Chain A
């Protein structure tokens, strides 16, 4: 008999459920015969990569909703990708807890601002945040940009504002960040590879 992996789980789940009921002395009547459906049967599967260490384990993210425009995707399960040549379906204690990372109560949800000397955060719109940050950066750059050094050599650098990039961000984010930082003349620029 040809059984797919997903069918295999369904059979297992059904088998364990029904046999233990019998063992407990319940002779299931007709109404009790249906066991709970395998929880991933109706989820959408998305392939992704573990964001923690650099083994680069493949993961399968299961979410409710079919990714239709009006359907809200809710991630409800994450497991190792059995097709992945490196992790072959396994995950470590970190990867196994990824669902709790996605749904951490400490996820930031909206932009916040802390004024000088203040003891608290206040909400700020994205637009106001971008505008204010750009203003602060431009004022600092215009004031402190070094076009030429003491010897009169062209150096075009801006070192009074710095940046740390994220080594868990994607190549695409990293590339864009690199482009922007150098176009501004930034040198005080590193990522976690430095530490």
Chain B
């Protein structure tokens, strides 16, 4: 979230799209209720289903799954055509006036530089014009046809209300009603918040859906404001933390990135990431990349990381390609993976296309499960009848199942969606011989290290030199680890302006990332968490819930990254002169008397940069402003464009009916054998979509008695028209098939799923909750991901769980 849960109470309008907060995040949704009750805020829900969020909304608009870019593209067109934008904000705080390279082009759904064989783009034309001074060329009059404003206007002019209705199936009056309500927040003192979740991420172009939402928010001037922002409602209790810590194939902690094979030169690696400002007077905070990087390497490798060996740069593994979950299962399926460790992750249930995942796991030599619960993955080799029909004798994988603790049995911190790191305390010992995850990881690692010490082996240096200064080496403590990622001075850290002034003494915990150095004198395992455990103590454990400004910031409750800021980009809540656009919801303001920014939040800005200096709010971008034109950052193009899901009920993309290349995302990666697994609308005419119920948490709660009682049996939802067409009554058992398998479940016939008129045909949706499987206390059921396609978002490779093709029949 750019903002945070309690801040939702400060809004005038809530748009829930690509999520269902009332169902999936009920205790956070209460802040929507609060805004409605106390600010007279309105709630809009746009969703293929009339969800529990929709049930309490002021306005609901139906939409075909996977068409949100078309819908939001239509909103952009409406806002620009009707001049409902926050003029000063977009002119000053965005790239509206920046000129785009002349070579950049867009033809019938495809951007310049496309290679159809590789299904990827040469992005060299996707950039701004750079002048002789090294800065981007701009046209403040916004008249130049190559300026971002003009190009964006032209791009989205095609997304007329008629085009939106034709693609999305949303009635035209409903679409226009949403546009009108959103447009009201273009007033400088009105804000809207967007709340989204996996309904936006789980598409083959999910990242671009989110971008389109962010573009709408920028046009309206709602980023950085109280009650505004782009708010990702994340799915797991610490999915934010593990992302922040970089536990993804291509990441290092704090959104630093691993080098690629070609990046052999350390200095070039740093320079590429330490962006120089692209406009005069901008901060471009990533210029400090080297300080973050060196401090992480010092935390990991201690004295073995030196200036002479480039802080052990060569010890980091380099990427020849992505190794995301889909790629790894593809490799496994090809027999290229021998071992796999699943630490609290149940891929047999949560990865797409169960038959492929199951077959891949069977090719492993060894599988290690670390989990508090008996997961499906841990028994992928076991025959569980119709739900997992395999022959154990044919599966040669060695499997270890190691019991770990759950939340109640450990100390530690989790990062909520609000970016708040909250400490929790152990209440009891785990059952039986279960051990904590840290002890289990240490157990495996220390034995590996022993073997390398004794026998040598492939490149042992990073293993032998990994810092391990734990009082109990077999059980590193949460306190020790938290202090390590928060950061410590190895030598005295002095003020760059006054070298005689010592900011932090050697051996002390750092106050924050501003104290990091690139000369090896500081360690910090995750720069954005820096300061979470300072000399003041464990700030994550703070429990002062006072709210002196009444804005819900609670700055003394736990610790938010970065630097305890609660609303990101909050400088943009003020006009260029430093005055809040809405003084009644002041986050920060410029105080000329003290020469500092301050207010109810920690400034997300250089705290002493006066408004007259012209530094802009988006300090992590080298431009200093927000980008409508994504330059080369996205896989499929700088402006989001509507494509059909990989499995679509339509023969063509209605935006580009004559260009087969632009039917689905041209940059989506599809493995060779998987093309044949995609279904066609003649055999599988209905749109399938998956989701969660409020009583369930993914695949865990089927082990929990109360929840197993609340929702005991697997069901699917269909609309009344489809039920009539197929002769299905409520309570009948139905078989839902995709080209990859089938599930059997009870049919719920409901008005909540309606038939949509799309491109001249009727489109029905089959809604399928995930949850059931062959382990647990709940009645056994089929893994819903038996049905889903093995393809992901072109940028993140997050699987397309929200839109695929199925057929349905009465059993």
Contact = CB atoms under 8 A, between A and B. Distances in A.
A171 to B, nearest CB: 5
Contact of B345 (A131, A159, A182, A191): A191
Contacts of A151: 261
B325 interface: yes
B365 A49 contact: no
A41 interface: no
Contact of B458 (A93, A133, A145, A173): A145
A142 interface: yes
Interface stretch (B77-85, B398-406, B744-752): B398-406
Interface string B686-709: 000000001111001101111100
Interface in B220-258: 233-249, 252-253, 258
Contact of B242 (A73, A93, A157, A167): A167
Interface string A126-161: 100111111111101110110101010111111111
Interface string A93-116: 111111011101111111111111
B421 A171 contact: yes
Contact of A157 (B318, B340, B547): B318
A23 interface: no
Nearest to A94: B697
B249 A189 contact: yes
Interface in B353-388: 365-366, 368, 370-374, 381-383
Contact of B463 (A47, A78, A165, A183): A183
Interface string A37-61: 0000000101111111111111001
B466 interface: yes
Nearest to A159: B323
A18 interface: no
B28 interface: yes
B324 A190 contact: yes
A95 B435 CA distance: 23
B24 interface: yes
A56 B706 contact: no
A2 interface: no
B71 to A, nearest CB: 24
Nearest to B801: A195
Nearest to B342: A164
A175 B485 contact: yes
B6 A93 contact: no
Contacts of A158: 317, 458
A75 B430 CA distance: 11
Contacts of A102: 406, 408, 428
Contacts of B396: 116-117
Given A97-B701, A179-B525, A164 B425 contact: no
B519 to A, nearest CB: 22
Contacts of B777: 104-106
Given A108-B374, A111-B402, A179-B300, A56 B457 contact: no
Instruction: Give the bracket for the number of chain A residues in contact with chain B.
Output: 35 or more
Interface stretch (A7-15, A28-36, A82-90): A82-90
A44 B252 CA distance: 40
Contacts of B115: none
Contacts of A101: 406, 700-701, 703-704
A111 B434 CA distance: 8
Contact of A153 (B262, B343, B425, B436): B262
A111 B392 contact: no
Contacts of B94: none
B261 A153 contact: yes
Contact of A116 (B30, B398, B424, B459): B398
Interface stretch (B475-483, B631-639, B728-736): B475-483
Given A104-B704, A195-B799, A116 B414 contact: no
Contact of B382 (A119, A163, A174): A119
A188 interface: yes
Nearest to B299: A179
Contacts of B277: none
Contacts of B28: 53, 55, 86
B56 interface: no
A188 B248 contact: no
B388 to A, nearest CB: 13
A138 B247 contact: no
A163 B6 CA distance: 35
B618 interface: no
B247 A174 contact: yes
Given A54-B417, A63-B427, A174-B241, A132 B400 contact: yes
A27 interface: no
A1 interface: no
B117 interface: no
Contact of A156 (B318, B372, B373): B318
Given A72-B429, A85-B557, A140-B339, A134 B448 contact: yes
Contact of B451 (A129, A134, A185): A134
Given A111-B402, A138-B457, A156-B316, A74 B428 contact: yes
Contact of A93 (B240, B443, B707): B707
A20 interface: no
Contacts of A155: 261, 317-318, 320
A169 interface: yes
Contact of B434 (A107, A160, A180, A182): A107
A21 interface: no
Most buried by B among A84, A153, A172, A176: A172
A130 B344 CA distance: 18
A180 B380 CA distance: 27
A190 to B, nearest CB: 5
A145 B410 contact: no
B353 to A, nearest CB: 12
A10 to B, nearest CB: 22
B798 A75 contact: no
B707 A97 contact: yes
B616 interface: no
Contacts of A57: 27
B762 interface: no
Given A100-B705, A172-B412, A83 B345 contact: no
Given A85-B557, A191-B243, 16 more contacts: A52-B700, A53-B237, A73-B429, A107-B406, A117-B395, A137-B444, A149-B261, A165-B344, A168-B239, A169-B437, A171-B245, A171-B529, A184-B462, A190-B323, A193-B239, A193-B248
> Top 5 nearest A-B pairs by Cβ distance?
A166-B344, A109-B432, A56-B416, A170-B412, A108-B403
13 contacts: A54-B238, A90-B27, A97-B706, A100-B705, A101-B406, A109-B433, A112-B400, A114-B398, A176-B481, A182-B300, A183-B463, A188-B327, A189-B249
